[in-house]
Amino acid sequence: MSAIRQNLQAVRKQIAEAADNAQRAADDVALLAVSKTFGADAVIDAAETGQQAFGENYLQEALDKMATVRAQRPDLQLQWHFIGPIQSNKTRPIAEHFDWVHSVDREKIAQRLSDQRPEKLPPLNVCLQVNVSGEASKSGVPPEEVAAVAKAIAAMPRLRLRGLMAIPEPEDDAARQRAPFRKMHDLFTQLQADGLQLDTLSMGMSADMPAAIAEGATIVRIGSAIFGTRNYAKE
Ligand SMILES: *Cc1c(COP(=O)(O)O)cnc(C)c1O
C-alpha cells in the first residue's frame, strides 16, 4: 500500500477518534485532502481509496492538475475546493472550475464569483473566511463584520453560502488551540440563530485537527498528514 493510502487511513482513524471524544458522529466531519504542490498522480492515488474532495491554493496549478486527472481518469467523480487567497482578477476561472470556495474574504470577491458562475453549473458553494486570530496580515473578515458580510453573500443568486472558514495562528499547545475554534463555533451558531441556513465550519489542519473537531469543525483541511511535507521549491 502506498504512503498516501496509509496516511489517509491513519487520518480517517484520527478523525473518528476525535469525533468520538467530542461525542460527535465520525461522518459529521468531512475530510478535504489538500493536494497543493502535489501532482495528479497523488490525487489519483488518494481518489482510488474513495477520497473525493480535494483542496487547492494555487489557481494555475489546480487547473492543470484537474485537466490531467480528468484526462487520465474520466471515471473519477471528484470535487474541487479552492482554499487559497483570491485576487479579484482570478475570480472567473475559480467560478468556472471549482465546486467550493472556502476563502471568500470580502463582499466584492463574492459578488464577482456570483456574477461569473456559469448558468449551467449549480450555485457555487462558499465559506466566508474569518480573521479569527486578529493579525493585520491575515486574510479574512474581522469577527465583528461577519454577520453583515454573510447576509450579503447569502443573498447572491449564484452562490450558496455554506458557512465559515478560518486559519488560526499556529499554536503548539493542544488546549490553547481550541480558543479560536470555539470563537468560530460561536459566530457560526449566532448566524444560524439569525436565520442563515449554514452547515459548514471549515477549520482544522494537520497540526490542529483534533482541537477543531472538538469545537465543531464539519470539514477539516488536511495536506501534509496525507501527502507528506510540501516542497515549494519544486513548483
Ligand atoms: C495548506 C493548507 C491546508 C493544509 O495544511 P496542512 O498543515 O498541510 O494540513 C489547509 N488549509 C489551507 C487554507 C491551506 O492553505
Q: At 15, is the pLDDT very low, low, confident or very high (cuts 50, 70, 90)?
A: very high
What is the pLDDT of the chain when averaged over all its residues? 96
Cα(34) to centroid of ligand 1, in Å?
A: 6
- Residue-range domains of the chain with CATH: 3-227 (3.20.20.10)
Ligand 1 environment, Cβ below 6 A: 34, 36, 57, 83, 167, 205-207, 221-225
Q: Are 220 and 32 in contact (CB under 8 A)?
A: yes
| Atom of ligand 1 at shortest range from CA of 83 | 13
Rounded to whole angstroms, the Cα distance separating 235 from 221 reads: 21
Q: Determine which residue's CA is closest to atom 10 belonging to ligand 1.
A: 221
Average pLDDT over residues 156-174: 96
Q: 85: which strand partners?
A: none
Q: Minimal CA–CA distance to 181: which of 207, 154, 148, 150?
A: 207
pLDDT of residue 1: 85
Q: Determine which residue's CA is closest to atom 13 belonging to ligand 1.
A: 83
Q: Determine which residue's CA is closest to atom 6 belonging to ligand 1.
A: 223
Asked if the model's pLDDT at residue 235 lies above 70, the reply is no
Rounded to whole angstroms, the Cα distance separating 182 from 74 reads: 41
Q: Are 3 and 46 in contact (CB under 8 A)?
A: no
pLDDT tens, residue by residue, 97-124? 999 999 999 999 999 999 999 999 999 9
**Where in 62-158 does DSSP place strands (E)?**
79-82, 100-104, 124-129
